[in-house]
């Protein structure tokens, strides 16, 4: 049986209730849910209280989901990477 693959998606969505926005980062694959959850917990802690201030006019959120193998080129390998530093780099240049 092949192992499942998981990913973290960091998204910036407009705060005006529109569906405008985009994905800032795609992190994966994670082959174990606990590793994905650990990365997610680090990102959640980094976002705590800053969801609406990191990118003016946007709410930055993180969600856990399946790794899309067909889009593997769009993902950043999270292993031995500082995911919080990636988040901070990703929000530079995002404006409302």
- What pLDDT, on a 0 to 100 scale, did the predictor assign at position 3? 60
pTM of the predicted protein model? 0.85
Per this entry, what is the length of the chain? 96
Q: Tokens 């969801």 appear where? A: 51
The 10s digit of each residue's pLDDT in 9-59 is 999 988 887 777 889 999 999 988 899 999 999 999 989 999 988 888 889
The 10s digit of each residue's pLDDT in 56-90 is 888 999 999 999 888 889 999 988 888 888 888 88
- What pLDDT, on a 0 to 100 scale, did the predictor assign at position 96? 55
CB neighbour list of residue 40: distance below 8 Å, 6 or more residues apart: 8, 62, 64
CB neighbour list of residue 82: distance below 8 Å, 6 or more residues apart: none
């Amino acid at each position: 049986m092949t192992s499942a693959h998981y990913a973290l998606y960091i998204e910036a969505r407009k705060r005006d209730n529109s569906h405008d926005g985009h994905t800032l980062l795609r992190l994966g694959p994670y082959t174990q849910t606990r590793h994905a959850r650990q990365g997610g917990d680090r990102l959640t802690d980094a976002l705590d209280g800053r969801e609406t201030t990191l990118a003016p006019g946007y709410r930055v959120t993180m969600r856990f989901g399946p790794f899309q193998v067909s889009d593997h080129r769009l993902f950043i390998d999270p292993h031995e990477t500082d995911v919080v530093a990636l988040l901070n780099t990703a929000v530079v240049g995002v404006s409302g």
